[in-house]
Structure 1
Amino acid sequence: MKVFKILLVLSVFAGFTGCEDATDIVQKGELNDQALFRNVENMQLYLNETYDRFSVESDIVVSSVLTDEVALGSGLTVNDTHRFFVVSTNGYARSIWANHYSLINYCNRLIRGAALFTPPAGDLPAYNSILAQARALRAFAHFQLMVYFSPDLSNNNALGVVLADRVPAIEDDLPRVSNGTLYTFIENDIAFAEANLIEVLPITVSHKFVNFNFLNAFKARMYLYRKDYVKALQFANLVISNSGVTLAQSTFTLPANYPATTDVIPPTGTGTGSTTINVQPSNTPAQAVQRALFQIDQWNSTAAPAYRRMWVDADKGESLMSIDRPNNRSNFSSQYNTNGSYWTGGPLFDMGRNLFNLYTQPMGGGAQDFRRWCFVDRSATISTDPNSATRTDEVIVIDKYPGKAGSHTSNDIKLFRLSEMYFIRAECLVRNGDLAGAAAAIQLVRQARNYIVGAVVPTPTYASAQAAFADILLERRKELAFEGHRYIDLKRLGADAGVTSTDRFSQDSNNSSATSPANIDITDYRFTLPIPQDERNVNNIPQNNGY
């Protein structure tokens, strides 16, 4: 926090920040806080800049790389984090720390600046709503830091992160505080946001800003991680019932007169790779649908499944909150594929083979899993003998972030989706002994991922709580892949589900040895990230165990 604060003071952020922390000299024409924060309109402009600092990209990628979601791609020679070599100078850890404290700093500057003037009575609701959004973002950033840097989110006495409730001075040394202290602070920020937030934006864009769905989903996730299952269930149910959002469906009707043996598909839309897909000639209805799914223009056609349209940002879908990423602003998918999510796009990471195998398994009742075709690009090469395949023989191209119309690599980041709320409901119901209720929640998500019209995914039957937790963890692995959940899910839920380690395929790690294992145990110290060394060089705070 302190090292990043120093960088902030020495930089000029879009002309917004003053230099009172660096020097007492007020220069002619300086845009300091007193000059900037004079009305609600300027506050809104600063809030817009604050949203631009909102980032979870590094969180998502480290969750993939440090678990079992990815294998090294053909465009990458080595990645130390992927081989579980994690030290205090780890780049992902530093990026997560810096990104979230950057957002917190912007929120705190806005909150401090707003106190410099009293708005007219007519502007007071907008004034308070801007502060509500800033405090909600500040709360979430603190929580996200806790997810990666606190050893035990369910223990109020465990060490958390630095609590940044103000704009600190250069000489301040802020300590790490307990989780309990952080949770109290977060809950107070959320309460203020709930009491003062005004939603005025149209539904097409409202999910890209702090809204009541975000606040309730945030609380559902936070209380789940805290193991307060009563509150987690309460807020998950509130979102499911009152959000106005439904599960995005994947069913697809085969176009009339579609040729049953079509093997080559004309390239359409944006970001397409190879013009062939890696399945046998269409001798079943499911295989015919597989081809037809990629013949449509998925970026613009309303015929595309709603679930796919959500991932190309052609539709809001089941998103409760997304971080806006317009074309040419942030190319997140280039974290997985250098130039685009297709075979020739320079894949840095492939989908892990064991994860891919999960999508190919029958869902029962004649249902087929659309995630096989939604998350893997059609240009992927799938080996018939993965045990002997090289990295160039098998390239399972990750296509969950395929870009949007006009871009190969820009996608909004889905921060909260309705699917997650059903998983939270299911987990909490198991804690309550309601195995049948949990199974019903899981079935609803699986049914939404089936693309065969008329097929019904059977409801699972759980013989024990452990079996239910294992199935919930399995479905979270499939549905929430590449969204930043796997890392914390293994840490907090793995033991209850009977899962003891990460689950990489043998060929997914080219550096397996005693010092660089293919998998690590879920109790391993690396399931808590190190406090970045840059921070500890200037701020005397304790390091996490193992580093």
Structure 2
Amino acid sequence: MKNIIKQLSFIALVAVFFTSCEDAYEIDQVGRLEEENGFESIGDLAQGLSGVYNRLDLTPNITFNANFTDEVSIGLDNGGQGLALYAFNLNAGSTASSNFWVRNYSVINAANRVLRASDNIEFDQDDPAALAEFNNILAHTRFIRAYAHFELLTYYSPDMTDDNALSAIIVDFVPDDIFQVISVRNTNAEVYNFIEQDIQFALDNITGNALPNVNPIAALSEEAIHAFRARMYTYKEDYTTARDVLENDLGINAADAGANLATALEYPDVFTDASNAGVIWKLERTIGDTYDAQGATGSVNAGGWAGASFAFINPTLDGSPYLEMDRKLFDELEEIGGVRIDVNVNPTSIIADDVSPSTPRSQDVIAINKYPGSEGQPLMNDLKVYRWAEMYLLLAEVEASVDNFNEVATILNNIRTNRQAVANVSVGNTEDAFAAILRERRVELAFEGHRYVDIKRLGEKANVNIERGESDCVPFGGVCTLESSDYRFNSLPIPIVEFNANPDLRQQQNPGY
């Protein structure tokens, strides 16, 4: 790293005590439990890993990707929630800017603390079972550290495909004192290299679920690591490596698109958590856990039930939806047909036969049903990190990159056939191919935290911009469109909270901010 260390950077400062603001300025507190005292056995290390997992959350991704793009409209029961993001207001003071930065560095800090603690664990290293268990915990921990670094690169690098572009700050240590990093941002190449080292360690050492009494699909697997790699290399546009991961490590190809997917009968159950069909890795949510709460409604600081990103009480018309489905997204779902419309549109919704900017809001109320609830708790559902459907859609991108248009159409039509949808995709050129992929991603991955990143990556290739339904946006100031070339789709801004402690970073703010 090219970092010059002087005093404690805000990223590490906040990450250490992310949930305890009153302690944020006293890093070396008297009587603090150090790792060498708190971690004495491999079992202790596993408990520490459980705490690292618990910091992972996708509700901010779901909220931001929906609210800033064309997935939602302002709901009938909206009391001001999400209006700033809906108006495309995004700057260094925005909640999104600080949330993605601080939250991911909190994850990284927690992982680094477990890794540092591992140096103090004493066990019989000649015992193969103990050594494998120990390394398995480290494999999970280093994967999560890599995952958080990639999240930062994805949202803060203005160009994920340029090795020389500025990226996130690599943090591979635990701060002991207050220091400040002067020349802080690493390049994409440096971050990718760091991630690949952690990922390779994870692949070399993972032996199974490292968390006792946890659903295996909610813990790391070799398939999940390869799914991460497939996403990363596709985002990077290293399509050769992405193809190798998808075809050889994950074992998929264009002809069998649909082989690993949930069936049409299983698909609705996936989103009520009654089935894990087609899911590679998810974050499990249950009654009484850290996230069992409504959370910050209408804010990227969501942190509670995923469905509470859109409604106050439940996903029905009577459940006070404050954000509804964008009318154009509904029209896409209706035109394509199949089981996905039932998963995404609550049956109590009111659908107008024809809409215009003068249509009364009460006559077109499309309630979002993606997170109906589970275990008797409305709006609380598991969060799907990787699904096989996304892997096939990534493979379609790989095929589009080399103008294999028949393969692109085959993949998309096979997915649609599996979803009992209209399988009429045809592709004639590169722009058409990426546009078709974006359209399929929009309906397949709706409200799962992808749309902003998809427009960032593929919008210009596909000549696709944010175009909201006029009946949705005109009553709220006419903020209906945003070009995919706009600087706000290049990256999030580095947050003001970081500048307050690290003023030199202002010189490395992302373009446009």
Match of 1:529 in 2: 492
SS of the aligned residue for 2:121 comes to: coil
Give how far 1:213 is off: 1.1
Q: Any idea what SS the aligned residue of 2:44 has?
A: helix
SS in 2 for 1:442: helix
Alpha-carbon displacement from aligned partner over 1:500-542 (angstroms, at most 9, x marks no partner): x2021112225665xx732111111111111111111112312
**1:509 corresponds to 2:479:** no
Matched, 1:167 2:174: yes
* Map of 1:311 onto structure 2: 271
Of 383, 405, 419 in structure 1, the residue corresponding to residue 375 of structure 2 is: 405
| Distance (whole Å) between structure 2 residues aligned to residue 358 and residue 521 of structure 1 | 20
Structure 1's 207 and 238: CA in aligned 2 closer, same or farther, altered over 3 A?
Answer: farther
- The letter for the 2-side match of 1:495 is E
In the alignment, residue 154 of structure 2 is paired with which amino acid?
Answer: V
Q: Which moved more, 1:458-467 or 1:476-485?
A: 458-467
Partner residue, 1:263: none
Structure-1 residue corresponding to 2:4 = none
The amino acid across from 1:520 in the alignment is L
Distance in 1 (alpha carbons) for counterparts of 2:161 and 2:99:
25
Contact 1:132 1:194 in 2 (8 A): yes
The amino acid of 2:409's aligned partner reads A
How is 1:249-268 mapped onto 2 (pairs within 5 angstroms)? Answer: 249-250=263-264
Match 2:428 to one of 463, 468, 485: 463
In the alignment, what sits opposite 1:264?
Answer: none
Q: Identify the range of structure 1 (52-61 vs 169-178) with the bigger mean alpha-carbon deviation.
A: 169-178
Alpha-carbon contact 2:252-2:392 (below 8 Å) kept: no
More helix by share: 2
- The share of aligned pairs that are identical, in percent, is 31
Q: Structure 2 residue aligned with 1:127, among 130, 134, 144? A: 134
Q: Does 1:486 align with 2:465?
A: no
Contact 2:14 2:102 in 1 (8 A): no
Q: 2:309 aligns with which of 307, 318, 335?
A: 335
Q: TM-score, normalised by structure 2?
A: 0.87
1:240 Cα deviation after fit: 4.6
How far apart, in 1, do the equivalents of 2:283 and 2:485 lie?
32
Cα RMSD between the aligned structures?
Answer: 2.5
**Uncovered stretches (5+) of structure 1, i.e. residues with no partner:** 251-304, 452-456
Residue 285 of structure 2 corresponds to which residue in structure 1? 325
Return 205-214 or 308-317, whichever deviates more. Answer: 205-214
User: Pairwise mapping of residues 47-446 of structure 1 onto structure 2 (< 5 A)?
Assistant: 47-78=49-80, 79-121=83-125, 122=127, 123-174=130-181, 175-200=184-209, 205-238=215-248, 240-241=250-251, 246-250=260-264, 305-329=265-289, 330=291, 331-361=305-335, 363=336, 368-387=337-356, 388-446=358-416
Measure how far apart 1:346 and its partner are: 1.3
Deviates further, 175-184 or 460-469: 460-469
The residue identity in structure 2 corresponding to 1:138 is R
Give the letter for the 2:481 counterpart: N
CA contact (8 A) 1:509 1:518 kept: yes
| Closer, same or farther: CA 210–20 of 1 in aligned 2, 3 Å | farther
How far apart are 1:8 and its partner, in Å?
Answer: 5.0
Distance 1:333 1:372, change over 3 A: same
Gaps of 5+ in 2: 1-7, 292-304
1:146 CA drift (Å): 1.3
Instruction: Say which is worse superposed, 187-196 or 382-391, in terms of deviation.
Output: 382-391
User: Hey, what's the Cα distance between the residues in 1 that align with 2:344 and 2:28?
Assistant: 48
In 1, Cα distance between equivalents of 2:230 and 2:74: 34
- The offset of 1:119, in angstroms, is 2.5
Q: TM-score, normalised by structure 1?
A: 0.82
What is the DSSP-based 3-state SS (H/G/I as helix, E as strand, rest coil) of the residue aligned with 1:161? Answer: coil
Secondary structure at 1:71's aligned position in 2?
Answer: strand
**SS of residue paired to 1:381:** coil
Residue 5 of structure 1, CA deviation: 3.1
**Aligned counterparts of 2:229 and 2:213: Cα–Cα separation in 1:** 22
The aligned residue for residue 281 of structure 1 is none
Structure 1 CA distance, aligned partners of 2:488 and 2:315? 29
Q: How big is each residue's C-alpha offset from its partner over 1:152-182, in whole Å with a ceiling of 9 and x where there is no partner?
A: 0000111101111111244322311111110
Matched position secondary structure for 1:419: helix
* Residue type at the aligned position of 1:316: N
Is 2:507 the counterpart of 1:544? no
C-alpha contact (below 8 Å) 1:86/1:526 kept by paired residues: yes
Give per-residue Cα distances to partners, 1:42-76, cap 9 Å, x unaligned: 00011111111011211221111111111011222
Give the distance between the partners of 1:20 and 1:526, measured in 2 at CA. Answer: 35
Pair 465,217 (structure 1): closer, same or farther in 2 beyond 3 Å = same
Deviations 1:309-365 (A, max 9, x none): 11000111111110111124321210111111111111121010000001111x4xx
Q: Rate the CA distance shift 1:10–1:50 in 2: closer, same or farther, 3 A.
A: closer
- Larger mean CA deviation between 415-424 and 535-544 belongs to 535-544
Q: SS of the residue aligned with 2:167? A: strand
Structure 1 letter corresponding to 2:486: D
Q: CA deviation at 1:203?
A: 12
Q: Which residue of 1 aligns with 2:418?
A: 448
Provide Cα deviations, 1:174-214, integer angstroms capped at 9, x if missing partner: 31111111000000000000001111489992221111111
Which residue pairs with 2:481 in the alignment? 519
